[in-house]
Every structure is written in C-alpha cells, then in structure tokens.
Chain A
Amino acid sequence: MTPTGTSESSGRSSDQGPLPLLRVTDLVKHYGGVRAVDGVTFDVSPGTIAGVIGPNGAGKSTVLTVMSGFSPATSGRIEFDGVDITREPTDRRARRGLVRTFQIARVFEGLTALENLMVAVPHQRSRTARGLLLGKRFWGPEEDEIVAQAHQLMSTFGMADKANERAGNLSGGQRRAVEIMRVLMTRPKMLLVDEPMAGLNPRLVRQLEDVLVALRERGLTVLIIEHELDTVERICSEVLVMAWGKIIARGEMAELRTRREVQDAYVVG
C-alpha cells in the first residue's frame, strides 16, 4: 500500500515496482451530515496483503462498502486494474475480479455448501439464453468441471464431507470457510475481507491466516480490515490506520504500534 503518486497510473510497469491493482483517490462518503469517509487516498500493489485498522467508527468498513460498490461514493475515484470503477455496480466489479466477504459470513442458506461454491463461477454457459434453450447438453460438460473444481476446493479446506449439507445448517466457522471458498471460485484478482477473524477460535484464526498467506503466494491481492492486530502484524506487509474517516498513519504494523497518533486514536477513538 502506497500513498497516491508513488506509482504510475498507466497500464505499464514502472521503475518503482508493480503498478497498483487498486487505487483509491480522495474518497469521500457522507451519510447525511456525517462524513464517514473523509478524503481517503491509497494504493494496493498486486500480490500483497494490505491491512486497514482503526478504532470502531473509524470508517474502515465504509471504505470497503464503497469500494465493493454496495454504497455509492459521495466523491472521489476508485480504479481497479487500470479501470475507473467508481460508478460500477457491485456485480460488475466482482466480475472484474474485485470480490468481498462480509463481517458476518453470508451463505446462501437454502443451497448446499457445494452449490454455494458453484454459483460463484463467473460467465457460466447455463446462464445464457442459449444455455436455457439448449439445456444440459450445452452446459453439462462445463457443469461437471465446476462440480469437480468445487469438490477439489472443499477437500482442500477439509470440508468434503459437508459438500451436500445445506449451508444454513453449517457452523459459524464452516460458513466462514464456505464464504472464502466461494470467493475463490469467482477467480478473483483481489479480495476485500471484512474482519474475517471475528467469532473464530484461535485455531481457526491461525488457519485462516495461513489460507490468506497461501493465496497471496499464488498471486492474489488482499485488503483486510481487522481488529486483531496480531493477525495484521503476522500477515500484512503494509497497514493503513484510519480514525475519524481519515487515514492517520501507514506503514508496517510493528512500527505503527509505537506511533503516538495511532495509540491516541485507539485510546480516544
């Protein structure tokens, strides 16, 4: 994560390192008279895990909500992979590869765990007019591939035995795992993860940290909002601190712990 201006905005690489995958410029979000986000600017480089921390009410989740398209920005600009996505709807951003998870894991409760994963695959032939007209002989082979891919992922996450279980019957940890797997089925370029460790026991927290690190090693970019500062320190290369809707500090977590303005924000905020 770098302040705007340190990377080039064109589609070519620069001498200063890879171009940002996500660039947020002067983002503002008002709710009536409340400035929930007040001029936030940052970049996220590809293949990194960036963290956003801050006290409750700092505007962290609002930034994520606006970036993912669930709430329109009052002003400012969001670029993803070199494209201005500021006014795009959520589903189009997701199809570009910018995908989010939720603070409380949200699953499609009436579908099985496996179906939760299958529904996330983009550009399925079965959802086209031709697919509806021609039926299974048109989309059957693709469907078989999706089933195999979803099974493979569930096995990797140790949940193969839950594949045909209704998602509504799963525990909190299992739902979180389904949500992460479902996101991976979208073939994302970047994950926006909102407090994924909330409600998980310490063992699952460490496992989820390992998952995120492994994903980064495969080239995925992650922006994580998290209250668990130890987690942030373990997995995030760069951290952005928010308070009162603004970015008040940025850098590595170990160094940020010693900064006075960060400590003040947590005490006062």
Chain B
Amino acid sequence: MTGLEFYGVVLLVYLGTDLLAAWGLNLEFGVTGVANLAYIVVIAAGAYTYAVLTLGPDTSFGGFQQYVAGLHLPFALAVVAAAVVGAVVGVVIGVTGLKRIRQDYQAMVMLVISLMAATVVGADTGFLGGQSGLSLIPNPFSGLSAGVGDWAYVGMVAFACVVGYLVMRRFTGGPMGRALRAVRDDEHAAAAMGVSVVKMRLLSQAVGGAFGGVSGALLVAFIGGWSPGAWAYVETLALLTAIIVGGLGNDFGVSLGTFVITVLLLQGVQFLPEIRAHTGLTEALGWIVLGSLTIAFLAVRPQGVFRERRPRYHISDPAADEGGGAGTAMTPPV
C-alpha cells in the first residue's frame, strides 16, 4: 500500500466516523434544538469503552499503561457496548444540562461539562491512562495484510454509515422527526400540545449519544490510541460548524458539510506551506476559517446551504379543498 493510498484510507475512515458523529449531533442540535457543546464527551466515552473492553489486562503489554476493566471482548460486542455507554452518557449530560434554562445557558452548561470531563479523565492516571491516554488498542483486521485490512476497515465503516443513516432517518424523518422539531421550534407550545419535551429531548440525547459512541469506537479501533488531547471541546465546534454550514436538520446537507469541514478544510490546511516565523499558524488557520464560517452562516444564512426540507402533503379529495382562498378566513368548524 502506497502512502497516498493509506492517506486515502485514513481520510475515508475519518469521514465515516465524522459522519456518524455529525448525524448524532444534528439529531440533538439541528432537529431537537439542544446545543450540546459536550458532544465530544460521548464520542470519547465510546472510544474509551471500546478500548477498555478490548485491550485485555493492563499488564498485557508490559504494564506501561493503567486502565479499568481489563477485558478482551470481541470487536462487535465492544462497539455495541460503546453505543450503550454513549447513550447513557448522553442522557446523563442531558439530565444535567437540560434543566429549565434558556438554550444559550444550556450550551454554557454543556461546554463546562465537556471541560470538566476532560480534566477529570486527564487527572486520574489509574482510570483511563490520564493525559497519556491508552494505546495499542486492537484493530479487528490486524490479522490481515496491511492493504486488505485497511480497506476492509473502510468497508466496515461504510457499512456502519449506511446502517446509521437508515436508523437516523427513523428519527429525523416521519412523525418522530416532526415531534422533535416541534420541541426545537417552541418547547412551550409543544408541551401545551401534550408532547413530553423532557422525554423527546432525552430520547434525542440517547440516540445522538449512541451515534457518538459508535463513532468513537470505530475511530479508536482504527487509530489505536486515545487520550484527552484527542477530544478537546473544539472538536464539537467542528461538528457544529459542519451542521450549521450544511443545513440544520437536513441529513444530506449535514453530510456534505461534514465532508467540507472535517476533510476539505481541516485536512486541507495541512497542505499549506508552514510559515517559518509563526509555527502552528497554518494549522490554526483551519480553526480560524471554521469559526469565521460559523459566524458568517449564523448571521447571513442560519438555515445553512441546504435548508431543512419538509414533506408536502396533497389532498386526495379535491372537494376538501373548496375552502381555500384568502388564507385568513376563519369559519366555524361545524
């Protein structure tokens, strides 16, 4: 496998795992209206879950790292566990952050949760490896030759994306998506109509969290290492930008936004020449553009490039449409 081919594999795995994460966050933010700035925590929870359930005892590799569990479960079981843990962590974050406060305050609470989680995990070296993190996390295709195993992994991530998209459509489309959007648009009016706002939000947090958990597990099984440096709060902002640019609540738009932001932009800046006098400026440029895009879209086109589409229903019986016309006339429904 050539270096370029491997780079393509890496980009595809990144894209696939980012797509799963972006769809999960879009369900929470774009569809349900919860500005979950702690979303990276569920991704991290999934990654750590996969790691501690597959690494085996912490003495396996000479005891240079410490972590809980010490299990060596099969890949599929560990990914399912990562989804469950992601869902649980998502609900816990939801319960903590979704008190009766305004959305902007909710976002602040979520951001603080994200910072606290990274600090706690980073400080406790006996828990999940602290700041050093965990490494040598097993890849399910490590027994195959390099080229075959890598492409097999891409195929598996692609399969996960197809399944994930179909599952996500159950929540973002149809009547369930309608109810979630009602909560997003006006939680008081939704409650007044009998929609349980708490239940809807926690459902969204659970499903979004499960997607984040799977995303984290698939990512960490490929890259083989995970530490607090990999899940800084700004990673959530990258996903949020992808959603805002692509189109809030629009699955297709979010997918395209994820490709543009996480692959074209954040990977593309790495090909820019380094400015000698300002080391790191080139990489920072990606985040500068990302932040500027967010501000620009929120100011000029808050619905994103692809506006959320709503289904059009047509009357099967033309006679039922006789009342149409002025549009403001109200006559008694007798």
**A residues lining the B interface (CB < 8 Å):** 68-70, 89-92, 94-95, 99-102, 106-112, 114-116, 118-120, 122, 124, 126-127, 131-132, 135-136, 139, 143, 147-148, 150-164, 166, 171, 173-174, 177, 179-180, 182-184, 186, 204, 207-208, 210-211, 213-215, 217-218
- B175–A158 CB distance below 8 A: no
Could you tell me if B334 and A217 are in contact, using CB atoms closer than 8 angstroms? yes
Asked whether any CB of chain A lies closer than 8 Å to the CB of B186, the reply is yes
What residues of chain B lie closer than 8 Å to A94, measured between beta carbons?
191-194
What's the Cα separation between A174 and B327 when bound, in Å?
Answer: 7
A171 near B332 with CB under 8 A, answer no
Chain A residue with Cβ nearest B169: A135
- Asked whether A127 and B176 contact (CB < 8 A) given A108-B185, A171-B328, A218-B334, the answer is yes
**Which of B65-73, B284-292, B315-323 forms part of the interface with chain A?**
B315-323
Assuming the contacts A109-B185, A160-B320, asked whether A118 and B330 have C-beta atoms less than 8 A apart, the reply is no
Instruction: Given A108-B189, A127-B175, check contact A153 B181 (CB 8 Å).
Output: no
Q: In the complex the two chains form, what is the Cα distance from A120 to B175 in whole Å?
A: 11
Hey, what's the 0/1 contact readout for B189-213 against A, CB within 8 Å counting as 1? 1111111110000000000000000
Interface size on B, residues (CB 8 A): 45
Q: Is the interface of B mostly helix, strand, loop or mixed?
A: loop
5 contacts between A and B (CB under 8 A): A110-B181, A119-B190, A126-B175, A159-B324, A174-B328
**Given A108-B190, A215-B333, also A139-B185 (CB < 8 A):** no
Asked if A126 contacts B176 (CB within 8 A), the reply is yes
Which chain A residue has the least Cβ–Cβ distance from B326?
Answer: A158
Indicate if the CB atoms of A110 and B197 lie closer than 8 Å: no
**Is there an interface contact between A158 and B320, defined as CB atoms closer than 8 Å?**
no
Set B193, B313, B321: member contacting A120, Cβ < 8 A: B193
Question: A139 vs B327: C-alpha distance in the bound complex, in angstroms?
Answer: 30
Which chain B residues border A116 with CB–CB below 8 Å?
182
The verdict on B99 contacting chain A, using a C-beta distance below 8 Å, is: no
For B170, list chain A residues within 8 Å (CB).
132, 135
A91/B185 in contact, CB under 8 A: no
Given contacts A108-B181, A161-B325, A211-B332, whether A91 and B175 have CB atoms under 8 Å apart is no
- CB atoms of A90 and B185 under 8 A apart: no
**With A91-B196, A151-B320, A156-B323 known to touch, is A70 a contact of B331 (CB < 8 Å)?**
no
Contact A186 B194 (CB under 8 A): yes
Smallest beta-carbon distance A170→chain B, Å: 8
Q: Is A162 touching B327 in the complex (CB atoms < 8 A)?
A: yes
- Find B194's partner among A112, A120, A210 (CB 8 Å cutoff): A120
- Known A-B contacts A106-B186, A111-B310, A163-B313; the reply to A158 vs B323 at CB < 8 A is yes
Select from chain B the residue with minimum beta-carbon distance to A210: B332
B179 within 8 A of A: yes
Q: Are A164 and B313 in contact (CB under 8 A)?
A: yes
Determine which of A114, A119, A214 lies in contact with B193 in the assembled complex, contact meaning CB atoms within 8 Å.
A119
Q: A111-B182, A151-B321, A211-B331 are in contact. List 6 more A-B contacts (CB 8 A).
A: A90-B191, A102-B192, A107-B186, A135-B170, A157-B323, A161-B321
A66–chain B nearest beta-carbon distance, Å: 14
> Nearest Cβ in chain B — how far from A71, in angstroms?
11
Contacts of A118 in B (CB 8 A): 175, 178
In the bound complex, residues from chain B placing their C-beta under 8 Å from that of A171 are 327-328
Docked Cα-Cα span, A122 to B192, in Å, equals 11
Given the complex, which residues of A lie within 8 Å of B224, measured CB to CB? none
Given contacts A91-B197, A108-B186, A171-B328, contact A156 B178 (CB under 8 A): no
Known interface pairs A115-B310, A119-B178, A124-B175; A90-B331 also in contact (CB < 8 Å): no
Q: Kindly report which residue of chain B lies nearest to residue A201, judged by CB atoms.
A: B328
Q: Assess A119 versus B313: contact at CB under 8 Å? Given A91-B197, A158-B331, A162-B327.
A: no
Contacts of A69 in B (CB 8 A): 191
Given contacts A127-B176, A158-B329, A207-B330, contact A110 B184 (CB under 8 A): yes
Q: Are A127 and B316 in contact (CB under 8 A)?
A: no
Contact flag A132-B171 (CB < 8 Å), given A108-B189, A186-B194: yes
Q: Is B278 an interface residue (CB 8 A)?
A: no
Closest to B330 in A: A207
The 7 closest A-B pairs by CB, nearest first: A214-B332, A158-B329, A126-B175, A94-B194, A161-B324, A160-B324, A108-B185
